[in-house]
Amino acid sequence: MFATCLLAVSPGGRAQDCNNWTNMHLRGTYTMAGSGWIDLSKLDAGLPTGTVPMSWVGANTMDGKGGGAGWVSLNAGGIQVTIELVNKTYAVKADCSVEESFYMKIKELGKTIGPAYRLVVIGGSPGALELHGIFLGGGPGTPVDLFTARRISMN
């Protein structure tokens, strides 16, 4: 009981307060990785239909003003795809969530799709910032995944 009371009043035991956070607090470069499911035919009619597992790694930047860019290397059902994240926007909310949107420029298909949306939650501290999120699919077969991004630089 005593330990529970100590946790309740300790900084680590309380919810993070993001009331004073702005887009500038997220400024930096992040490495990220995720996994989930996708129906590749939703990206291009020439690709196989049916939901397949996917995993990906990448990096992105947040400019501190609500914009950014990045890249992703994705493997979906054994098919390798290189994606450039363009026209990215983000907004920090007082509840420690971040709404992101971006377009995906898919090198192998020669096309850009989007906008795509992600819901992100701020974790860690400004010095060791992590973002945890979910890719919000836009209907049956569209990508759904969970990911973690870790800030590696304030640039």
Residue 6 located in a structural domain:
no
pLDDT of residue 93: 94
pTM: 0.83
Tens of pLDDT along 47-63? 889 999 999 999 999 99
Residue 13 located in a structural domain:
no
Residue 82 located in a structural domain:
yes
Residue 19 located in a structural domain:
no
Instruction: Please say whether the dihedral angle defined by the alpha carbons of residues 31, 110, 105 and 47, taken in this order, is positive or negative.
Output: negative
- Give the residue-averaged pLDDT of 59-79: 96
Residue 14 located in a structural domain:
no
Using a 10 angstrom Cβ sphere, with 0-12 exposed, 13-18 middle and 19 or more buried, the burial of residue 30 is buried
pLDDT band for position 16 (cuts 50, 70, 90): low
Distance CA 103, CA 115 (A): 5
pLDDT band for position 12 (cuts 50, 70, 90): very low
Give the CATH number for residue 80: 2.40.160.20
Distance CA 47, CA 39 (A): 9
Please report which helix (H) or strand (E) contains residue 5, including its range. helix 2-9
Predicted confidence (pLDDT) at residue 25 exceeds the cutoff of 70: yes
Residue 3 located in a structural domain:
no
Q: How far is the CA of 50 from the CAs of 33, 43, 108, 116, 142, in angstroms? A: 23, 12, 20, 20, 11
pLDDT of residue 4: 38
- Domain total in the chain: 1
pLDDT band for position 3 (cuts 50, 70, 90): very low
Give the domain range for residue 145.
24-153
Distance CA 34, CA 144 (A): 10
Computed over every residue of the chain, the mean pLDDT equals 86
Both tokens of 38, joined, read: 């996708």
Distance CA 8, CA 131 (A): 24
